[in-house]
Amino acid sequence: MIITLAIVVLVVVVILPILLFGGTHLYRAFRLRQNDPDDIQTVRTASDGLVEFTGTAAELNGTVTGKYSEQECLAYAWEHHDRDAGSTGDNRESNYHMEDRGTEGEPFHVRDETGTVGVDPTGANIYATEDEDEWKNRERIHKERRIEADDRLHIYGHKQTLVERQEGLETESTYVGSNTHGMGKLGKIRTRPHITVGHLLGISSDLHITVGGESDAIKRFGVIGGFFTALGLIQFVAAGLVIFASL
């Protein structure tokens, strides 16, 4: 009885949140596949809320310097991985764990043939797999993904109308950014409980910037969703087998 109760608690507290997180990403991939990105003129005139569009990055309010590359860019994401304690293996990534991560950047413009809109990358998930730089030794791994001027971008985030001027956005009255940046983990869990796992892992931003096109964004959401869904299903089946064996 105690074993069964413990497994039920594990399913509710751990496995179901993993499945919800994976399913949310698979749904996003499906939604992006079903809908074409809007042009920027449509984004600017739309009601505040989730938008999807593509365009070319351009400088708006200066640049930042990459944490590890020391290269000028519009925005970048970085990761710091440390070697696992007691690990004596080679330099495979499985022997390291992520110690810290973050995103830095200045607001920038995204343009297409219909217009221009500001994007605030603060707190974004930035995906640029093919352009990811990596520095590795036996003790640590550093990774950096940059957004540079003239990069082709896919943006999936919240369009917001400014009531008063915001620092870094110059005269922009409309921009796309994150609604949850600045919230603590508990605040994010209360706002979006279905992706609690993402909040705990620090990968739950509601602003997704992909260097590339819509197909690259769909692939990224699909890979993340597929991994967590498969992980949750494996754990769910294992939990069922343990309960069955204990009867």
Give yes or no for residue 116 having a pLDDT over 90. Answer: yes
Beta carbons of 56 and 230 less than 8 angstroms apart:
no
- pLDDT of res. 99: 86
pLDDT in tens, 40-89: 999 999 888 999 999 999 999 889 999 999 999 999 999 999 888 766 66
Most confident of 7-16, 95-104, 150-159: 150-159
Q: What is the pTM of this model?
A: 0.83
- Average pLDDT in the chain: 85
- pLDDT of res. 95: 81
pLDDT in tens, 184-227: 667 666 776 766 766 666 666 789 999 999 999 999 899 999 99
In the numeric block, the tokens 């944490």 are attached to: 67
pLDDT band at 4 (very low <50, low <70, confident <90, very high): confident
In the numeric block, the tokens 């992006």 are attached to: 32
CB atoms within 10 A of CB 191: 14
197 vs 34, 101, 205, CA distance in Å?
26, 16, 12
